[in-house]
Amino acid sequence: MKSIIEIDFKGVTPFVESGEIELWCEKALNSLNLLIEEGSNKSSPTDWIDLPTEDFTSIFKRFDSLKREWLSKGVEFVVSVGVGGSYQGARAFYEAFVDSFHTFDKREGLSLVFAGHTLSPLYLSELLQFLKKREFAVVVISKSGDTLESAVALNLLRGELQRRYGTEEEGRRIAAVTSIGKGALWEIAHKEGWHLYDIPKGVGGRFSLFTSAALLPLSLAGIDVKEIIRGAADGRALSLVRSIENGAVRYAAVRNLLYSKGKKIEVMAAYTPKLYFFLEWWRQLFGESEGKRGRAIFPTIACYTTDLHSLGQYLQEGERTIFETVLSFGEQSGKEIIERVEGNSSLPHYLEGVSIGKVNSIVKEGVAKAHIEGGLPLISIEGGLLREYNLGALAYLFQFSVALSAKLLGVDPFNQPGVEAYKRESLYLLKGEGE
């Protein structure tokens, strides 16, 4: 099987010694063997590895049934409530494939809005005002059900649902995605008779993209979740190949090689705002999986060409502790030809007759050349056209690669003790306020 995802390391080779990439790829292969062994022994939460190979037929039918039910009630908006891995995946794929200006025009079917990812009182107040004039339902996503941000948002939304529809109808307008049979959210959803969907036990939040956590809200919004899973399944097959040519292996190896040479920051960039929230998803996946025990690459993101006018100077001539990874997907539009408008003498003559997509592509090539010559190692990832299948394949590759990368660092990719620390301190202070 040939990978649709092509990873090019030519922009890294000027900064490493001959043979170093292959040496680190062998180390990453050892991590792959260890990961598979742990999965076989169930000694770590690795059920996510095989998720794309499962039969989704019945769950997709349940998604379709819920969508029909809510549409029959006149529902226009679904509020997806979650934070971290319970939020990032759904938003990443939604924003990638929905029209950029969908909120300004009524679209056929259901639109998503998001809550539970912030405690901003202004955001939540504006959300409630927005929903007062619209028919809505709620999908709440949490393995435990006691995540602070999601609990606050759900409470506010339940109040609005009860005020408008009463308690019985409220229950028909809420779906919960959680660990079945366990946790606060399951208990209340089971008691109230909400629609219930499972997050498998051996799947952590940031690895839950290919579960109902993301697939349910995406399906309700009309995103092709079957193609996402098909892409992920092919991404899985390629990621499990025991070869130094494996893209997941090579990406994990090269970023750790660069880290060993003092490159402490990775800038993940894309040339379309459609991928901004996919970059956010990547940042959480790598930051929370690797950033432990005083080590790991700091993951940050940039959206070009916009951020070239804010970070461009630093990337070109700032401290040389950075490397760059650039995602490229072909956009199905952008073929509009630039033509001179009468009276517009400011348009350079060399732009006339050129497509906007071609301009974006040429700028990308020029930036890459300048950054490499300026001392910035660059990894290039080409994903074909921006379609659900291709992005699903890349998302799986990143999930697999971060597990390998974390093992190269000597840290557990599946826990988040630092997150639990801030939660404890916040809870202690909040309990003091309530006394």
Domain ranges of the chain: 6-41+242-412, 50-223
Q: How far apart are CA 170 and CA 97, in angstroms?
A: 30
| 305 prior amide bond cis, ω within 30 | yes
Per-residue pLDDT tens over the stretch 261-270: 999 999 999 9
CATH (one of 3.20.20.80, 3.40.50.1010, 3.40.50.10490, 2.30.40.10) for 50-223: 3.40.50.10490
Banded pLDDT at 56 (limits 50, 70, 90):
very high
pLDDT for the residue 40: 79
User: For residue 352, which phi and psi values (nearest 5 degrees)?
Assistant: -65, 130
User: For residue 145, which phi and psi values (nearest 5 degrees)?
Assistant: 90, -5
For residue 195, how many other CB atoms are within 10 A of its CB? Answer: 20
Mean pLDDT value across residues 160-172: 94
Whether residue 102 is predicted with pLDDT greater than 80 in this model: the reply is: no
Whether residue 253 is predicted with pLDDT greater than 60 in this model: the reply is: yes
pLDDT for the residue 41: 78
Contacts of 350 by beta carbon, 8 Å cutoff, 6+ apart: none
Whether residue 345 is predicted with pLDDT greater than 70 in this model: the reply is: no
Banded pLDDT at 356 (limits 50, 70, 90):
confident
Per-residue pLDDT tens over the stretch 359-390: 889 999 999 999 999 999 999 999 999 999 99
- The interaxial angle of helices 388-409 and 247-260, nearest 10 deg, is 40
- Residues catalogued as catalytic: 288, 309, 423
Are the C-beta atoms of 145 and 199 separated by less than 8 Å? no
Report the CATH superfamily, name and number, of domain 6-41+242-412.
Glucose-6-phosphate isomerase like protein; domain 1 (3.40.50.10490)
Mean pLDDT value across residues 285-312: 95
Is there a common fold for 6-41+242-412 and 50-223?
yes
pLDDT for the residue 332: 66
Whether residue 310 is predicted with pLDDT greater than 70 in this model: the reply is: yes
Are the C-beta atoms of 231 and 389 separated by less than 8 Å? yes
As to burial, measured by CB atoms within 10 angstroms (0-12 exposed, 13-18 middle, 19+ buried), residue 151 is: middle
Mean pLDDT value across residues 160-167: 94
Per-residue pLDDT tens over the stretch 399-411: 999 999 999 999 9
Mean pLDDT value across residues 333-342: 73
Percent of the chain with pLDDT over 90: 77
Q: How far apart are CA 79 and CA 83, in angstroms?
A: 13
Are the C-beta atoms of 297 and 265 separated by less than 8 Å? yes
Q: In angstroms, what CA-CA distances link 409 with 9, 166, 286, 371, 404? A: 21, 53, 12, 27, 9
Contacts of 234 by beta carbon, 8 Å cutoff, 6+ apart: 1, 4, 389, 393
Whether residue 434 is predicted with pLDDT greater than 60 in this model: the reply is: no
pLDDT for the residue 435: 53
User: In this predicted model, which residue has the larger pLDDT, 102 or 406?
Assistant: 406
Per-residue pLDDT tens over the stretch 169-215: 999 999 999 999 888 999 999 999 999 999 998 898 899 999 999 99
Q: Alpha-carbon torsion 163, 166, 169, 170, what sign?
A: positive
Banded pLDDT at 348 (limits 50, 70, 90):
confident
Q: Whole-model pTM above 0.85?
A: yes
Contacts of 433 by beta carbon, 8 Å cutoff, 6+ apart: none
